[in-house]
Structure 1
């Protein structure tokens, strides 16, 4: 019979601690559950402690024995003799947090082994692969989330906040991913932050996919791109145009000169060394995105996820209204960012009404607003950051083709406002306004 992982010594210390320290019980009750313990005696004692604590009674040996007798669990808990042995065997409660962590880690290992047994049984019994895949995803996320969850006392929250403030004063961006656009990164507090859902939205033709490809190309960490609209080779051509400063029109038409080929080969060599992964299935569901993302974050160390774009995605549920479906997609993407501790950049369309209403501002043009997010207000609610791309030359000949604005309309940890940038359509690039793009 297979022996499941356990942390026997740590379990004993954790269970004995409340009998030796009054302040240990609330700490243990806040961080653990009965099924975190492999030893059934410790599960029974934990449940007894909790019942006594909820009743407001003192936690001492006579009270514990009475509660165990009342609930019929005295024998399950090892009897009076085990309680006496427990106190005698554990001489110190030093490092209680460490031992609580060991108990939780052992529980997680048992959960993964139990999941592997469930998968094997499901496959042996001929379960549909889609059902098995859903079981793996849901169980895996539940196990990892349970490990990360826990009540955090205010002293720990404040201590962590002070560390982050101190780090930011020293130029530490807290693991934020830089977009390569200096002013945008500054307003975003350093860049795209782990755990955030960032929505980049615009009307068609404004450059959503270009900006997303630029961010992926410039990212120093492994990137996973979900493209529901373009093939990986199409994205590759855009990246080559940007990295090699080669006219994108020439690349599409195949009308290249020797100098163009030299720049393409040099750019291809640079990009080949980057760890950028493409998932290009056109029929991806949000559940597929979560499955692939979790796998690549664990296996490849992916630090940024890009989804192009939200309105082309579906869910595996059928029969729901499109608004509810989009709400489910945005919620799942936000949970994905939190669970995997990476920024998720999702592109989104704006509705046509944004162009039909009267313009605003001095230029009287239809600048986008949060209410223009297409199909669901849930996108606005779930997003940590919303950035609109607005190119005035699309509506007025009074502005050059290079004119572009990134409107930070929502930012939980960002400064709202407009970032002026330059759009280089020829080379498929957005650049800082003060740094003119190379038109070679």
Structure 2
């Protein structure tokens, strides 16, 4: 019996035909030739340039054959008709194709060895077309639904998400991940940590003390960075965005593959500050010139040269700023997918969470709306497989306490923020609160008590000046605690101090 004759059984396949009898895009003959090549020479799998997975095959039997072959190869065994036979003796679908003799028939024609790469590409491309057909049908069915409960913008957002998955080749994205794949992913994280000298395995923040505490920023994580006004939330977020983008740019120039770099192309959604204001901050930090001087234009010739050099140096910085105001969570996710597709971003920062809007259905209840937004950000992190840092305001309860250090209960408007977050960071600067209680500067007529009071304040001020603490209040992957930082307010720059002792006593 001819090989192709064995493969044609569209009436039995659940995905064989579409509406009105239309045949789905597929080439079962190409699948058979490719499988034959794999069973003749297992090295075919190692040499593939296409990320071919079992679910990309149209014929269910072929899916199972390829999946079992991969498992054998992963155990350093060989995949041949003989080694596969015990796994398919009771396969009812294979019996319709001639039983286990079909496995031997796959290798009878070795033509697939001549173009195994091209065959894999065609199988993969046809799988994407089938997924696209599915997305199109779902979109049409959704568009025809005119019931009152339907939100058109939600349909558009879902359609774009589905198209994004197709564009990324994630035809099996909704399928459960087998433990083998999950374990390989975990081992890659461990390998990345080893390669970094045992310090961190995720995306870099550019700040050693934070990297040491958190092992970097991990894909699919939602990080909440919260603090009261004037603590430096936006400054820290801007520093992290610049550091990650700058590291990627430097590594690419050194010839390092972007996938091996701890840096990341970064999308910064600024709902509060304009793009030019953020750019001014980054230039001020890089050129080490105060933002106040930049705004006033009172620069020396040497400072202007430093600014020009910094501007030229950052021309190719993979940092993308979106300052569209009043974004909905759906619109932000749409824009993020677009940036991922066009620029392969690896980090998203949102400044700040409370300025985002919900879908409109929860607007009558702010707590529900914030819950929808925090869930949407966590979903975005998982969907695009990258870390998302969302800045958040804190309630005024902090100001009413003698101890001004933030707590999880201070997160404003919704406990779901804490629930959805993988990490919660609080930025705290004792210097700010200490300056608020500064006594009058003594003069010649001041009493000894006044002089002593000012001297005590000044001594404490010298201990706190330019010091900041990042409080890791929640971390799914590790311990909580304090992370010491230095903050140069003139140029809005955070750096890591050189520590001789531990972190716990750091203010």
TM-score by length of 1: 0.73
Distance 2:173 2:60 in 1: 24
Distance 1:417 1:174 in 2: 17
2:400 aligned with 1:374, yes or no?
Answer: no
Aligned to 2:235: 210
Please list the CA deviations of residues 124-182 of structure 1 after superposition, one character each: whole Å capped at 9, or x if unmatched: 9xx99846632422433676766234444556545654554355334377762211111
Please list the CA deviations of residues 275-296 of structure 1 after superposition, one character each: whole Å capped at 9, or x if unmatched: 2111111110111111111111
Distance 1:195 1:89 in 2: 43
Question: Structure 1 residues 224-233 or 407-416, which shifts more?
Answer: 407-416
> Is the partner of 2:479 in helix, strand or coil?
coil
2:154 aligned with 1:90, yes or no?
Answer: no
Distance 1:153 1:299 in 2: 30
Distance 1:275 1:301 in 2: 10
Q: Which runs of 4+ in 1 moved over 6 A?
A: 10-15, 39-43, 98-105, 117-124
Aligned to 1:231: 274
Q: Pick from 161, 164, 179: which aligns with 2:205?
A: 179
Aligned to 1:196: 221
Question: Structure 1 residues 160-169 or 422-431, which shifts more?
Answer: 160-169
Q: CA RMSD in A?
A: 4.1
2:474 aligned with 1:410, yes or no?
Answer: yes
Q: Which runs of 5+ in 1 are unaligned?
A: 16-30, 44-58, 65-76, 360-365, 436-440
Q: CA deviation at 1:208?
A: 0.8
Aligned to 2:493: 429
Larger Rg computed on CA atoms: 2
Indicate conservation of the 8 Å contact 2:189/2:201, yes or no. Answer: no
Larger RCO: Structure 1 or Structure 2 (Cα < 8 Å, ≥ 6 residues apart)?
1
Please list the CA deviations of residues 363-412 of structure 1 after superposition, one character each: whole Å capped at 9, or x if unmatched: xxx11111111111111111111111000012113334412111111112
Question: Structure 1 residues 198-207 or 146-155, which shifts more?
Answer: 146-155
Please list the CA deviations of residues 257-307 of structure 1 after superposition, one character each: whole Å capped at 9, or x if unmatched: 222211111111112120211111111011111111111111111111110
TM-score by length of 2: 0.64
Indicate conservation of the 8 Å contact 2:284/2:294, yes or no. Answer: yes
Distance 1:430 1:295 in 2: 30
Aligned to 1:335: 379
2:392 aligned with 1:348, yes or no?
Answer: yes
Aligned to 1:266: 309
Corresponding pairs, count: 379
Q: Which runs of 5+ in 2 are unaligned?
A: 1-20, 36-52, 64-87, 108-116, 145-149, 249-263, 436-459, 500-507
